[in-house]
Structure 1
Amino acid sequence: MSEERPARSKTKDTILRTALALFNNEGEHAVSSVDIASVIGISPGNLYYHYKGKEPIIRELFSDFEIELRQVLSAPISEPLALQDNWIFLYIIFEEIWDFRFFYRNPTELIDRVPELKVPFSRLLGLKERTAFSLLSDLEEGGHLAFGEGEKAALTARLAQHFTFWLQYHSLREGEVPTKALIDRGVYQSLSMISPYWAHGSGFAELLHEAEPA
């Protein structure tokens, strides 16, 4: 059974959409609940009626993010992907993370301030690992990849870490990068991690070439 977002009032939806845009673009730490109310054009008291401060907004946004990312990550666990679909699937993962990118800018500091996020964030990390393992296993069974003892588990961990810290790395290394280029690099780097294990003639080399950023 797929998860669904809870029904919300129009005002709550507006508050969440506005907060997400502000948190993503300006950094969550730099935005107050008063800032959110000001951008929407409502009084701080009106916002407080719906969300009693910024932390409840953050928790509800994370709930939305978890629902969306769980739906995406569960797809290859339920049914194997065709070889070419792996490129598209990775792209969808990075797009989903980008849409809620403020959670990945400094997750440790955010969890320290909103400790209720620790358990669901940990759940997502576990699901990333299971998804990566499932993808690699399907490619191995299809004859596209070959692993020695322990290599698949190690690669699974590296991929899950890459999904989680990709934004931080590029932010520290290069600063602002156009969105499409950033996502293209995330996908290409994921496939580059996998490429040492490809079986020659399997078609995986062509997949890597197709995903190479311009």
Structure 2
Amino acid sequence: MKTRERILSTSLQLFNDFGEPNITTIDISNEMEISPGNLYYHFQGKDAIILELYLRFEHDLIELLESPSRNELAVDDYWLYLHIIFETIQNYRFLYRDLSNLLAKYKKIQARFNRLISRKKQMFIDICQKLKKADFLMATEEEIEALADNAVVIATFWLNYQVMRHKNAYDSSYISQGIYQVITLIAPYLVAEQKVHVQTICRMYKDKGYLLRD
């Protein structure tokens, strides 16, 4: 792996494990056993590392968010799709741990993240509309709009909420719990047959403590 990629990989791991505000470029270079000057040759400070990691996250997530509009998905695929979205968030969880402060600190990211939130909402609307068209979901346009807003709030702030509750301790089950919360938002609007199936999925996430891979 080239030095630039090692810097990004190491930074991501440290930011995820300890929180971005608690890690300096000195910490990163020490972890890699390279000189601060070598790190600076590739990235002129921590801001540049944060921006590059965000751009990679944004690229990965946009690819996912556009998938429902580009591809015909079976109804079961939507729940797997939701899982993959939360998994992507987990991989870059440092961005979500203290989101308000991070966006205030890194202005180049703020506007891009706001657009990403809008894409998230549209993706949830698209999923609900497709489920409705397939006669799997019974909801008005107003209810779908509200479902999308609430799903985006959970997807965006769930990790921050859990970290606050548990005094900054991170557990990968937090993401599984977030998926459970989103599914239970949609479940009451599903037709009976789909509701039974989704209840089985919910039990998998809640009762068995289903975990995403680290």
TM-score normalised according to structure 2 size:
0.90
| Deviates further, 122-131 or 54-63 | 122-131
CA contact (8 A) 1:27 1:102 kept: yes
Relative distance call for 1:29 and 1:137 in structure 2 (3 A) is: same
Once residues 183 and 31 of structure 1 are traced to their aligned partners in structure 2, the CA distance between those partners, rounded to angstroms, is: 23
* 1:152 equivalent in alignment to 2:144: yes
Relative distance call for 1:149 and 1:89 in structure 2 (3 A) is: closer
Match of 1:129 in 2: 121
Match of 2:40 in 1: 48
CA contact (8 A) 1:145 1:199 kept: yes
Match of 1:66 in 2: 58
Paired residues for 1:22-33 under 5 Å: 22-33=14-25
Structure 1 segments (4+ residues) deviating >6 Å: none
Deviation at 1:149, TM superposition (A): 4.9
1:99 to 91, 105, 120: 91
Match of 1:111 in 2: 103
Deviations 1:58-104 (A, max 9, x none): 00000000011111111112123211111111110111000000000
The SS at the match of 1:80 is coil
| Deviates further, 149-158 or 25-34 | 149-158
2:199 to 200, 208, 211: 208
Deviations 1:160-205 (A, max 9, x none): 11110110121123453641x323212111110001211223x233
Match of 2:211 in 1: none
Identity %: 35
Once residues 46 and 156 of structure 2 are traced to their aligned partners in structure 1, the CA distance between those partners, rounded to angstroms, is: 24
Question: Structure 2: which 5+ residue stretches go unaligned?
Answer: 209-214
Once residues 156 and 33 of structure 1 are traced to their aligned partners in structure 2, the CA distance between those partners, rounded to angstroms, is: 38
CA contact (8 A) 1:80 1:138 kept: no
Once residues 88 and 197 of structure 1 are traced to their aligned partners in structure 2, the CA distance between those partners, rounded to angstroms, is: 19
TM-score normalised according to structure 1 size:
0.90
User: Would you say how many aligned residue pairs link Structure 1 and Structure 2?
Assistant: 204
Once residues 162 and 183 of structure 1 are traced to their aligned partners in structure 2, the CA distance between those partners, rounded to angstroms, is: 10
The SS at the match of 1:145 is coil
Give 2:89's aligned amino acid. Answer: I
CA contact (8 A) 2:159 2:175 kept: no
Paired residues for 1:135-214 under 5 Å: 135-175=127-167, 176=169, 178-179=171-172, 181-201=173-193, 203-212=194-203, 213=206, 214=208
